[in-house]
Amino acid sequence: MVPVNELARGYRLYEKEYNDKAISVLQSGWYILGKEVEGFEKEFAESLGDNCYCAGVDNGLNAIRLGLHACGITTGDEVIVQSNGYIATMLGITQNGGVPVFVEPDGYHNMDPDKIEAAITDKTKAVLVTHLYGQATRMEKIVEICKKHNLMLFEDCAQSHFASYRGTNTGLFGDAGFFSFYPTKNLGGFGDGGGVVSRNKELIERIKTYRNYGSDYKYHNIVLGFNSRLDEMQAGLLRIKLKHMPELLANRRKIADAYLAGIKNPLIRLPEIVEGATTNWYLFVINTEDQAGFRKYMLDHGVQTDVHFPTPPFLQPALSYLGHGEGSFPIAEKDCKTVVSLPMMDYMADDEIETVIRVVNAYEG
Ligand SMILES: Cc1ncc(COP(=O)(O)O)c(C=O)c1O
């Protein structure tokens, strides 16, 4: 069976380095907010761009939650998001009392810049784009719209580490970028983790205060904070993975290039990369009309697949109070019914890649 993902493969690639780091953190006697977190924050920010800063937090959702909170998003504020994607983006808004306002995606599964202005009201405070499946969104028009309407601009980069648009890494286009280091992510740890990045150093300092009970120095609390810290073990392990990101990104690119060159089947729509954008190939997502039938066929022929994501956020029962129903955002709904993620991970053997291509090509519907 070709798995859709197998996290232990990523561990085995640098097993000794991870083991050594884990033991060194255990032996250090210092487990929360220490030199590993500081080192990771510095190295991650530097790897994204100049004049950029990072605050490590406990997961991607809390990166969004704290980031929006520190930027003043509060009760009743509207934040424009895309109608497809993952629920966590919306929860980061609702947990601040904010209201997600949806716009449809473009043909690349990302926010359609041409649909944003129609969604702006006098309550709109920000646009929060998600660079879905690892591909950077077309950002220039979005940046322009935010400037024109005096809106904050945020990026959910939980899936898009090191994906760029016209040379700028995702996370650096607006006020802040929110990252997840959940184990499946390209830069994934061995437990939960997250980070906020920004070119605004003062904002990052504020988030570091919020993540630690609102404490600016020991036993002194200037704001009502949270406990949302990245721990030393995860930060230490993430530093190892960060060092190897160029080869890890190249591994995924090699798999994606083989799929793109080898898959030829009129029933399968391959992912397209927008001009000027790069993708980190977090996922390799095709579209096909008979999602369930295709997945069963693949499984019967030894290839696991997944669906990211079967239900659009606006149809989740938890968000029913927003008043949307079936038909509210047909492009997102159609996407959810037709997307299938093929196997993609940090390492695949050539014969596994060939198996996926052969089986997809033999699919007859
Ligand atoms: C687009 C998106 N946003 C936010 C998150 C939340 O990240 P985490 O699982 O680290 O809370 C995820 C991850 O699963 C995600 O895919």
Ligand 1: atom nearest CA of 64 is 4
pLDDT of residue 148: 98
Name residue 228's amino acid.
S
pLDDT of residue 91: 98
Expressed in angstroms and rounded, the spacing between residue 180 Cα and the centre of ligand 1 is 6
Q: In this predicted model, what pLDDT tens digit does every residue of 222-260 receive, in sequence order? A: 999 999 999 999 999 999 999 999 999 999 999 999 999
What average pLDDT does the segment 40-63 reach? Answer: 98
Expressed in angstroms and rounded, the spacing between residue 185 Cα and the centre of ligand 1 is 9
Which CATH architecture is the domain 245-361 placed in?
Alpha-Beta Complex (3.90)
Ligand 1: atom nearest CA of 62 is 11
Report the Cα 262 to chain-centroid distance in Å: 27
Residue nearest to atom 8 of ligand 1 (CA): 60
Q: In this predicted model, what pLDDT tens digit does every residue of 107-164 receive, in sequence order? A: 999 999 999 999 999 999 999 999 999 999 999 999 999 999 999 999 999 999 999 9
pLDDT of residue 42: 98
Ligand 1: atom nearest CA of 194 is 10
Residue nearest to atom 15 of ligand 1 (CA): 158
Q: In this predicted model, what pLDDT tens digit does every residue of 310-336 receive, in sequence order? A: 999 999 999 999 999 999 999 999 999
Q: What integer best gives the mean pLDDT of the chain?
A: 98
Q: In this predicted model, what pLDDT tens digit does every residue of 251-303 receive, in sequence order? A: 999 999 999 999 999 999 999 999 999 999 999 999 999 999 999 999 999 99
Determine the Cα–Cα distance for residues 365 and 294; give it in Å rounded to an integer: 7
pLDDT of residue 138: 98
Name every protein residue with a CB atom under 6 angstroms from any ligand 1 atom: 59-61, 85-86, 88-89, 130, 156, 158-159, 180, 182, 192, 194
pLDDT of residue 284: 98
pLDDT of residue 263: 98
- Does pTM surpass 0.95? yes
Residue appearing with tokens 């904050």 = 152
What average pLDDT does the segment 101-109 reach? Answer: 97
Instruction: Kindly state the helix (H) or strand (E) to which residue 216 belongs, with its residue range.
Output: strand 215-217
Expressed in angstroms and rounded, the spacing between residue 364 Cα and the centre of ligand 1 is 35
Could you state, in order of their start, the residue ranges of all structural domains in the chain?
A: 7-243, 245-361
Determine the Cα–Cα distance for residues 188 and 13; give it in Å rounded to an integer: 14
The CATH number that domain 7-243 falls under is 3.40.640.10
**Burial annotation 34-65 (CB, 10 A radius, 16+ → b, else e):** bebbebbbebbbebbeeebbbbbbbbbbbbbb
Q: Which of 86, 94, 109, 309 to mutate to test the pocket of ligand 1 (most atoms within 8 A of CB)?
A: 86
Expressed in angstroms and rounded, the spacing between residue 19 Cα and the centre of ligand 1 is 26
**Which residues, at least 6 apart from 8, have a Cβ–Cβ distance to it below 8 Å?**
none
Expressed in angstroms and rounded, the spacing between residue 283 Cα and the centre of ligand 1 is 14
Backbone angles phi, psi at 363, to 5 degrees: -70, 130
Confidence of residue 343 (pLDDT cuts 50, 70, 90): very high
Same fold, 7-243 and 245-361: no
As given in the structure block, the two tokens for residue 365 are: 């519907």
Residues 152/64, Cβ–Cβ less than 8 Å: no
